[in-house]
């Protein structure tokens, strides 16, 4: 795709106020693939004003009509599926088959789910002598990450539109081209001017301006816990609603009696998917001491098969971060089973699939989110010990439990302090709520729970 040299404002592509630009680089070979404007506070202000002006008419549009717009958006995205996959591969570096199957296909399904939900959701209910109305919260500032760049855009924009909100989107600076392609699809779908606006820019500049803008009613952010804390503080000072989807250090708990080979192989695949750049990745594998050595051997063999099929990480900065964590794991006494801190290629931002054994719960690699293809395998004594280890981080986003007896797995999962748990390899459900406990965030995305984040309640008494 050709990058736009403007921002999408009030239904049209317009020049940004400044001349600063962001270079978009392919992580595979470090080649320049595009340039976009680095919008500033003036651009954010113009976009928020456009969204504010469009709000009354859009909020008053019947939900079924809003659903029809979302269906048109879904169709516009579906028509561009190949172009979207190629664009994400160019700026994120993910292998094209994965970009097609996940990065492009899942957002289309999510958009479709909100097209249906807008038309069927109960936006009012009767409680005794009261009628409770669910109304749009207002103007939404959406700040999205680079790791699943289109999915995270759709997971915010689609429910906000279904709710009757208007939006200003600030996408990650590493992956802005797919955001521009999304804006083109919005335009094709015929959304009224000002309902959706796009400002590309740097997080500390455009993102900060959006988070603190007095015309924004809700800030929805996905990214690191450190930045989420800043946004929450900014929004809290203004008594502004926030939805935060932050970091994770999810546990993959393999109980005795589980299919060990399947649990380990699926667990390794989960961590290596998207080059480990997944907030919900099961980066801690917990195995009973009696099966530990066998699990480590299986994991090493599984990880070694990936080679560079997983693609690079997104940037040189991210590569340095991940390799630094691998070095720290070695320094703290974890046993390197496969992979390591040496970059496997001279050019591009590559990290070898890495597995650590003999990891203890207090090690840095068992506590902090690495966001790369790095798996830590920990041993446990019994179920209570496994639970202590699983719950023993500041995060609580996702997890997995494997057992021969499904009821046993469910009982364990119910005791985990985490927002989502896969039982014996349960599949991702785009209509189930996604979000975390503890420092993994505030609020939920996807499905009806994701829609209610963008609604506020008003009760009328009779």
**Domain boundaries of the chain, sorted by first residue:** 6-246+440-461, 251-429
| Residue 400, φ and ψ in degrees, nearest 5 | -150, 150
Do 6-246+440-461 and 251-429 have matching folds? no
The whole-number average pLDDT for the span 421-446 is 96
Q: What is the pLDDT of residues 285-333, one digit of tens each?
A: 999 999 999 999 999 999 999 977 899 999 999 999 999 999 999 999 9
Q: What is the pTM of this model?
A: 0.97
165 counts as catalytic: no
Nearest alpha carbon to residue 197 among 7, 327, 340: 7
Q: Report pLDDT for 290.
A: 98
CA-angle at 219, arms to 214 and 221, nearest 5°: 145
Q: Is 245 a catalytic residue?
A: yes
**Could you read off the pLDDT of 195-206 as tens digits, one per residue?**
999 999 999 999
60-80 pLDDT, tens digit each: 999 999 999 999 999 999 999
pLDDT at 391 over 90: yes
Among residues 193, 163, 188, the alpha carbon closest in space to that of 74 is found at 188
pLDDT level of residue 26 (50, 70, 90 thresholds): very high
Q: Which of 279, 369, 445, 453 is the catalytic position?
A: 279
Q: For residue 53, what are its two tokens? A: 């002006």
Rounded to an integer, what distance in angstroms lies between the CA atom of residue 165 and that of residue 432? 22
User: CB-based contacts of 333: which residues, under 8 Å, 6+ apart?
Assistant: 358, 363
Label residues 44-54 b or e (16+ Cβ within 10 Å = b): bbbbbbbbbeb
DSSP 2: P
Q: Which of 173, 184, 245, 445 is catalytic?
A: 245
User: Rounded mean pLDDT of the chain?
Assistant: 97
CATH of 6-246+440-461, one of 1.10.3720.10, 3.40.605.10, 3.40.50.300, 3.80.30.20: 3.40.605.10
Compute the radius of gyration of the chain from its Cα atoms.
22
251-429: CATH topology: Aldehyde Dehydrogenase; Chain A, domain 2 (3.40.309)
């Amino acid at each position: 795709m050709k990058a736009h040299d403007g921002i999408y404002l009030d239904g049209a592509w317009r020049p940004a106020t400044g001349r600063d630009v962001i270079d978009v680089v392919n992580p595979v070979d470090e080649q320049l693939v595009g340039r976009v404007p680095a919008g500033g506070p003036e651009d954010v202000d113009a976009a928020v004003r456009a969204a504010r002006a469009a709000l009354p008419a859009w909020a008053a549009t019947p939900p079924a009509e809003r659903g029809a717009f979302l269906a048109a958006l879904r169709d516009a995205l579906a028509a561009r599926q190949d172009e979207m996959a190629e664009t994400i591969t160019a700026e994120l570096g993910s292998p094209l088959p994965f970009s097609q199957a996940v990065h492009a296909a899942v957002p289309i399904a999510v958009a479709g789910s909100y097209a249906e939900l807008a038309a069927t959701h109960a936006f009012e209910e009767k409680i005794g002598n009261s009628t409770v109305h669910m109304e749009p919260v207002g103007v939404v500032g959406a700040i999205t990450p680079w790791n699943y760049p289109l999915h995270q855009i759709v997971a915010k924009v689609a429910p906000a539109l279904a709710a009757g909100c208007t939006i200003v989107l600030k996408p990650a600076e590493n992956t802005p081209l797919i955001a521009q392609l999304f804006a083109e699809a919005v335009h094709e779908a015929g959304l009224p001017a000002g309902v959706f606006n796009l400002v590309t820019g740097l997080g500390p500049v455009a993102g900060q301006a959006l988070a603190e803008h007095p015309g924004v009613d809700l800030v929805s952010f996905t990214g690191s816990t450190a930045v989420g804390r800043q946004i929450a503080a900014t929004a809290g000072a203004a008594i502004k609603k926030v939805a935060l989807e932050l970091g994770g250090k999810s546990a993959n708990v393999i109980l005795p009696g589980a299919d060990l080979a399947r649990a380990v192989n699926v667990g390794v695949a989960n961590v290596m998917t998207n080059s480990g750049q997944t907030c919900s990745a099961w980066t801690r594998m917990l195995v009973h001491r009696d099966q530990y050595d066998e699990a480590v051997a299986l994991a090493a063999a599984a990880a070694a098969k990936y080679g560079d099929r997983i693609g690079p990480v997104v940037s040189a900065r991210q590569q340095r971060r991940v390799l630094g964590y691998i070095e720290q794991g070695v320094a703290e006494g974890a046993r390197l089973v496969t992979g390591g801190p040496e970059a496997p290629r001279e050019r591009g931002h590559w990290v070898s699939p890495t597995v650590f054994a003999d990891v203890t719960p207090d090690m840095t690699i068992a506590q902090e989110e690495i966001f790369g293809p790095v798996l830590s395998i920990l041993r446990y004594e019994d179920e209570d010990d496994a639970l202590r280890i699983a719950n023993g981080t500041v995060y609580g986003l996702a997890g997995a439990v494997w057992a021969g007896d499904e009821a046993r797995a469910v009982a364990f999962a119910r005791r985990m302090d985490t927002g989502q748990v896969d039982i014996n390899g349960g599949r991702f459900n785009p209509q189930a709520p996604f979000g975390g406990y503890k420092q993994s965030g505030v609020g939920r995305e996807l499905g009806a729970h994701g829609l209610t984040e963008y609604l506020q309640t008003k009760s009328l008494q009779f």
